[in-house]
Amino acid sequence: MASALFGMVAFFFAETTHLVKNTCKKYIPNNWVIPVVGALLVIAISYALGTFDYLGLGVRNPTGGVSIISAFATAGSHPFSWFWKLLLTAITLGTGFKGGEVTPLFFIGATLGNTVATISGSPVDLFAGLGFIAIFAGATNTPLACTLMGVELFGSDNLLYYAVACFTAYYCSGHSGIYGSQRVAVSKFPLPRSRTAIKKNSNQQNNGNES
């Protein structure tokens, strides 16, 4: 269930980023105004939250707030830390600022894993690690690479958990992704045959029987 949630959040991140970008292009005619609007939104939301924990990479927090490192400890993040990081990152990227998606996705995954572990009574460090790699797997459509990344970062003791989390998140993230250049070569899900295809096959069979 946690892995499916990681995949859906990965989908939500990719779609939110694309939505922000497309909406800005549609309603803001001047390109130079778009990043100004994005910056003002990020600043306003941060002040409204009363914290700047969700700005920057978030690997460590010098003020002792929420970070990737803190998410691996009990009470190391707030229940919606993942959502605020997701929203602010989507606004930042969607309005033209290019600083990368990788580390923010790690932040989102680790803090969401912390929240899921806290709610379910599961090991916080394990679930933070699973979220760390699984959300990135879902957002980039790279489950095998992220499984191996989990082994590299956290050791091989929980390899089975890494694989289940990454591949489940990959399937649950749909065909969306953060990289627009990716193309769907093989569908993640078996698509139902259309009536046209069924009718065509039926006609071919009938013609064969008549012959």
Alpha-carbon gap, residue 58 to 139, rounded angstroms = 19
Q: What is the DSSP string of 9-20?
A: HHHHHHHHHHHH
Q: What's residue 34's pLDDT?
A: 96
pLDDT of residue 175 exceeding 90: no
Kindly compute the dihedral angle of the four CA atoms of residues 41, 10, 141, 168, in this order, to the nearest 10 degrees: 170
pLDDT in tens, 88-135: 999 999 999 987 889 999 999 999 999 999 999 999 999 999 999 999
Q: What is the pTM of this model?
A: 0.84
Cα–Cα separations (whole angstroms), residue 58 to 70, 80, 112, 116: 10, 15, 14, 20
pLDDT in tens, 55-70: 988 999 988 899 999 9
**What is the domain partition of the chain in residue ranges?**
2-210
Read off the tokens for 115: 């929240």
> Does the CA dihedral 121-123-124-129 come out positive or negative?
negative
Choose the most confident range, by mean pLDDT, from 24-33, 185-194, 195-204. Answer: 24-33
Q: What's residue 191's pLDDT?
A: 56
pLDDT in tens, 113-125: 999 999 999 999 9
CATH 3.30.70.100 fits 2-210, yes or no: no
- Average pLDDT of the chain? 88
Residue 35 binned pLDDT confidence (cut-offs 50, 70, 90): very high
Q: What is the mean pLDDT of residues 195-210?
A: 46
Q: Which amino acid, one-letter code, is at 83?
A: F
Q: Which amino acid, one-letter code, is at 21?
A: K
Which residues, including other chains, have CB under 8 Å from residue 161's CB and lie 6 or more apart? 126, 130
Which residues, including other chains, have CB under 8 Å from residue 163's CB and lie 6 or more apart? 143, 147
